[in-house]
Copies of this chain bind each other. A is one copy, B any other.
Amino acid sequence: MGVEGSSGADAVVARLRARLGERVDLSPASLEAARADRSGHSSPGAPLAVVHAESVADVQETLRIAHETGTPVVTRGAGTGLAGAAGAGPGEISLSTLRMNRILEIRPDDLLAVVEPGVLGGDLGRALAPHGLWWAPDPASREISTVGGNIATGAGGLLCAKYGVVRDAVLAIDLVLADGRLLHLGHRSVKGVTGLDLTSLVIGSEGVLGVVVGATLKLRRTVPGSPCTVAATFADVRAGAVASAAVTASGVQPAIMELMDAASLVAVHRLLGLDDPAPGTAQLTIQTDGPAAADEAGRIADVLRDAGGTVSVSHDPEEGERLLAIRRSMHPAMAALGTTLIEDVSVPRSALAAMFDEIARIERAYDLTIPTVVHAGDGNLHPNFIFDGPEVPPRIWQAADELFRAAIRLGGTLTGEHGIGTLKSRWLADELGEDQWEIQRRIARVFDPAGILNPGKVFAARGGTNA
């Protein structure tokens, strides 16, 4: 897809420059950077141009030109996505909202903030903290990813089991359509059932419905007190999974509950220069927060001991951060081993142990090691496939295919928080079914009749294992 022929491309760029001036970036470095996100996947070549929108009007102007010339547009925030959705290719416009980074309003009385899409999660958190407020979604990229990108992917994170995901934390969205029109979706009130819930529909839509140019965020009050941290090791990851289920069953709600399997733990220990754990050792790291944090940590420690864990409890926030740093070092530890395909399946919590059985089966069948970390409070697993070179080998995709099918079979889903993008579009119909796939694609066409928004993403390919 894209604008055919260089003269057509030149004409589009000329129109963009005429209306947007220096905000149209043709530098080779920018064009190259716009091809990829953090998934490791790159588009086949550089886009026509990168437009650095600084206002809603800039986005509208870009879309109007794209609409009139039939030029595809790939919207981009900070480029931290892990599914390839933000990568722009030949003939496409890369539309960056990163410069639209103002926080327009913070309302402690209404527990809301109005922001532009390019605000980084870290900056938002620092702006809200003096008001005793926070926005709960906490993807691992939080510090460096944008609110607009979080909305476009329906981001999750570590705190979701207790504090929810992006879908639970957005009241209203301003959306520019493929033809440049601006829609205001949702409202500032907490409640509202007026017509269809298009705000929810846009969350997680990965750039195929429109460009998010503003958002009204639902905030929480800062949780009082400091967290307590419980770390426990288990003889194997299955025992750790069973223990995490026992914590959930105990009725105590941790703020964070992260499970690392043996391969993950070894890789991180080596990266951080720590002694190797005993072979097979898996680790659960749990944080409780709020007024009852210490009591809850004690109750959780009891549950973990009963489940066979070797348990330590820390009431010291710094020690807690040090323990969590092991979990947070997962991505660099994987990157040190080779190219990484980070998967993202999600299953019902009771199926965690069964999902680890499936992963063990796939490891044996494909002679692979699949280091896996889990948001155990909500059943969201990140199995990592490691390989050499830039492209995912077919054998790895076959193993991933078995992983996806196992998750769906267990009542779960292909992607808990990263999205479909380019990397999983061929499995989308397997999960949705052909009828639902077709209905979703038609809904996207209602917003974008010509299909110029993020073409080739999400609804691109249908069914089957092979690329």
Contact = CB atoms under 8 A, between A and B. Distances in A.
A111 B435 CA distance: 29
Contacts of A181: 435
Interface centre among A156, A196, A442 (most CB of B within 10 A): A196
A190 B154 contact: no
Nearest to A191: B416
Contacts of A415: 192-194
Contact of A110 (B109, B192, B350, B432): B350
A431 interface: yes
Nearest to A183: B436
A168 interface: yes
A203 interface: yes
Interface in A104-155: 107-112, 132, 153-154
Given A109-B249, A248-B109, A189 B439 contact: no
A68 to B, nearest CB: 18
A248 B112 CA distance: 13
Interface string A167-183: 11000000001000101
A430 to B, nearest CB: 10
A458 B440 CA distance: 21
Contacts of A414: 194
A418 B194 CA distance: 9
Chain A interface size, under 10 / 10 to 19 / 20 to 34 / 35 or more: 35 or more
A110 B415 CA distance: 18
A180 to B, nearest CB: 11
A446 B436 contact: no
A132 B416 contact: no
- How many copies of this chain are found per oligomer? 2
Interface string A239-253: 000000100110100
A196 B440 contact: yes
A195 interface: yes
Interface in A357-394: 375, 378-380
A56 interface: no
Contacts of A185: 436
Contacts of A4: none
Nearest to A291: B292
Contacts of A287: none
Interface in A225-246: 245
Contacts of A195: 420, 428, 431-432, 436-437, 440, 458-459
A203 B197 contact: yes
Given A183-B439, A201-B201, A439-B183, A194 B108 contact: no
A292 B154 CA distance: 33
A245 B109 contact: yes
A198 B439 contact: yes
A189 B436 contact: no
A396 interface: no
Nearest to A188: B411
Given A185-B436, A411-B188, A416 B193 contact: yes
A192 B420 contact: no
A420 B194 CA distance: 6
A137 B184 CA distance: 27
Counting from the closest, the 7 A-B pairs by CB-CB distance are A200-B200, A188-B411, A191-B416, A192-B413, A154-B193, A189-B346, A190-B378
